[in-house]
Structure 1
Amino acid sequence: MINTELFKEVSPLSAKDCFILIERQKSNFNFPIHIHPECELNYIENAKGAQRIVGDSIEEIDEEELVLVTNPKLEHAWMDHHKTSQNIHEITIQFHSDLLTEAFLNKNQMISIQQLFRRAEKGVVFSRETIAKVRPLLKILTCENDSFYSLIKLLVILHELSLDKGMRELSTGQFAANIVSKEHNDTRLNKVVDYLNQHFSEVIRLSDVAEMMNMSEASFCRFIKQHTSKSFIDFLTDIRLGAASRALIDSSLSIAEIGYDCGFNNLSNFNRIFKKKKGLTPREFRDNYRKNKTII
């Protein structure tokens, strides 16, 4: 194993404040891959071609970007990559994870925000439509001088974000399997996820999992599709890729060893599927992470 730790950012957010907002104009991204205990909402404007890293998701961003991360151990960063603009506008909001207590989030009026925070444990990126809706609210928030009203405005922003039907989770569950809560409310689906997380390195047959769930294969496939919007094979592949991504970062095993250990039957198949799903080969993914990772 490689004994490394990620750069741990020390936020200027004080224990007595609910949140902090930092607005800046910058020409480049120079902060390494890092973690911090605070939840973070990050809006980026005019940085097309920059690269976003959240967990095992590595993507090139568009002209505008809005991401929420509520997981204190989820690695994230933005890199210059193919960015050409020298006039980036960034608004970063950090708030304590206990800003909204569990009891408060369990109230009927807060359920959508509770669900948003749960999804954002893997990092979520918001749709263009929602960005357009909250952009003015974010810019108004930067000008608010009354701290109480600024908190109310933040809650309004979080509510609007929670209604986004087009938001997309970034990191895979298996990549962060030891640091996220249960992903699904359905106990049957959690049973499937637990089984796949424990046995992804083995040969897993659809018939065996369907039998475990007391379903026919056809019924089980419909069940998985309904709850995950993925086929069973794609769902299992994503779990295996999440485990492989974590191993590529945290272990010194060879790429072939990682592929076999994560349930892929040969190296070429592992490389092909990884590149198709993540846009990078396993080697490129590992090199990219190590290049931007700071040891402390």
Structure 2
Amino acid sequence: MPDSSTQDISYEVVHYHTEMPFKILNVHKKDLYKNKDLSTVNDVLDHWHNELEIVYSYSNDGIYYTDGIPHPMERDLFIIVNSRSIHKVISNRTTPYDDMPETLTTVLQISDSFLRSFIPNFEDLYFLPVFKTNEERPAQIMKDLARYADGKALNKYENMRLIGLVHELLYYICRDDLTLKDMEMPKKDRKNADILRKIISYTEDNYRLDINEMSAAQHFGYSASYFSRFFRSNMGITYKEFLTRMRINSAKDALTGSSKSVLEIAMDCGFSDARGLINMFNKYEGITPLQYRKKYARAT
């Protein structure tokens, strides 16, 4: 059986802004430090996700932790967060607000299924947390990607440019930063990560069906109580909440990318009826599904 622990760690479901298999976002100082007050910053606490995360820093502010190892942020530094690695970001709160650049970091999160499609033996490989290069091109690629951050609408054919930039960046990182996972990850962490990956994959394949914590536990041959403890200790949330978040994210895509009714979307995403989707959407998003559609709908 997998090891369980009491770490307070949360799982992040990454919601993509577009149909691309990656997400780009910029972290701006005005969003972190309200009214220029350094004491108001909310640190990003321990969490993990399936995506590979590439962080490019424009400042010396903060410390990035990956699997418990601190990496002080530096200007032009790349931090690589492996799929399912536990990480957090702590501000040093010492750099004066006016001395910080407007954008602190650009973050690129790439779907692990996208990576597995063209990197042989991806599950056996590990990206070193600090990517060091003497070449200027990787930094320029991140700056180019930053222009498309936060779901910026794409002009005709720009999707091809974006895909090309991501592939080019991955070329540099794979060439210079990959090593074997067995050389970097403790055996216990690999075992738990492998089991969690299977649970997540099972949920991704079946969340539209009538599954729950009990049926998932039975599928993997665990008692409901053990499965519940293991999942929560490694994910920081219950399996029920994880499943609900996955269903809501799927509903978001349908709301913004289709003209289906709320009932149709609810049934497609694993909810028993429209009311179930509306209640959970209100709980996690603070608005109704139709309000979300009106605010974020894409042209279809």
Q: TM-score range by the shorter chain?
A: 0.3 to 0.5
- Give the TM-score of the pair, scaled to structure 1: 0.48
